[in-house]
Amino acid sequence: MTNKIYDRIEEWTKDQIVKSSAVGGGCISNAEKLMMKSGRSFFLKSGSNVKLYPCEANGLRELQKASAIRVPEVILANENFILLENIVSGIPGPDFFNTFGKQFARLHHINNQRFGYYEDNFIGSSPQINISSNQDSENWIKFFMNNRLLFQFYLAEKKGYATDKLRKGFHLLENKIEVILGGSEERPSLLHGDLWSGNYLCDESGNPVLIDPAVYYGHREADLAMTRLFGGFPPEFYSAYNEEYPLNEGAPFRQNLYMLYHVMNHLNLFGIGYYPQAEKLLWDYL
């Protein structure tokens, strides 16, 4: 397959690949840096067993349209691979996370009429359901419960990870989520969808770059909750964000419910080791 991909890239770019170097860090795709005869360089991802690359390309283009924060330019994408601008890494300066927080807040100022997105896509390699009924797409609480939490719960049941306690917890949550999230309503914001420390870069000029999105329009508190899942970003990121776009009262209380979506996804992707965290996040609200 790789030779066919190289042939397609050379045909599209009218250029010759002279060197390929493996890039580590991913668990879904094979990643390579391609050097071309002309001196240009590209970043290639391939090898996923789910057809996520067209969705990734569309998500990057959606983020790029916001002109709030840098994303790699999409060169070419199909079901087998995605070819991107190669971002030359730089060293974050003392203002990096201050800039990052402000730019991320500006991204969230981009709004849509409905929650979700025009296509379903992926969170990691799990399906992410963005297309829903008119009722759900106009109501964040219904959208988040049905398209995010319950989808992951039913997937956990299918995989054999759902205990009686988890089932009972989700049943109770369905009756309580209106109270937990009520009063925090906002217009749908453009979300990266999967922002953690592995999904941003620092470019050659010291500026933040977003990669590997799971784009949709949702509540911005959900995006910020994901940034805290693996220890969080430095405090200046959050203070800069809040200065640019203050969060509604009660956001820290709601944070762990939004985090539950990602922990459930990790349970479904990586196994039972994430079960205790999922159970605790759920039952702390019940």
How far apart CA 101 and CA 3 sit, in angstroms, is 41
| In contact, 29 and 44? CB cutoff 8 Å | no
Q: State mean pLDDT over 29-54.
A: 93
Note the pLDDT of residue 48. 85
How far apart CA 63 and CA 67 sit, in angstroms, is 7
Q: State mean pLDDT over 226-251.
A: 97
Note the pLDDT of residue 2. 66
Q: Write down the residue that tokens 């569309």 correspond to.
A: 58
Q: At residue 27, does pLDDT exceed 90?
A: no
CA distances from 180 to 44, 57, 101, 175, 286 (A): 42, 34, 26, 10, 10
Q: What one-character DSSP code corresponds to residue 17?
A: E
Note the pLDDT of residue 146. 96
**33 forms bridges with which residues in the sheet?**
21, 43
Residue 120 among the catalytic residues: no
Q: Work out the burial of residue 106: count CB atoms within 10 Å of its CB; fewer than 13 is exposed, 13-18 middle, 19 or more buried.
A: middle
- DSSP secondary structure of 172-238: HHHHHHHHHHTT-----EEE-S--SGGGEEEBTTS-EEE-S---EEE-HHHHHHHHTTTS---HHHH
Of the listed ranges 29-33, 66-70, 240-244, 265-269, the least confidently predicted one is 29-33
For 171-219, write each residue's pLDDT tens digit: 999 999 999 999 999 999 999 999 999 999 999 999 999 999 999 999 9
Residue-averaged pLDDT of the chain = 95
Catalytic residue among 120, 136, 164, 194: 194
Note the pLDDT of residue 12. 92
How far apart CA 258 and CA 261 sit, in angstroms, is 6
Note the pLDDT of residue 24. 76
Note the pLDDT of residue 26. 65
Note the pLDDT of residue 1. 55
Q: At residue 62, does pLDDT exceed 70?
A: yes
Give the pLDDT band of residue 57 (cuts 50, 70, 90): very high
- Residue 18 — φ and ψ, nearest 5°? -110, -15
For 121-138, write each residue's pLDDT tens digit: 999 999 999 998 777 899
Report pTM.
0.95
Note the pLDDT of residue 117. 97
Q: What one-character DSSP code corresponds to residue 246?
A: P
Q: What percentage of the chain exceeds 70 in pLDDT?
A: 98
CA distances from 222 to 82, 206, 242, 270 (A): 27, 26, 15, 21
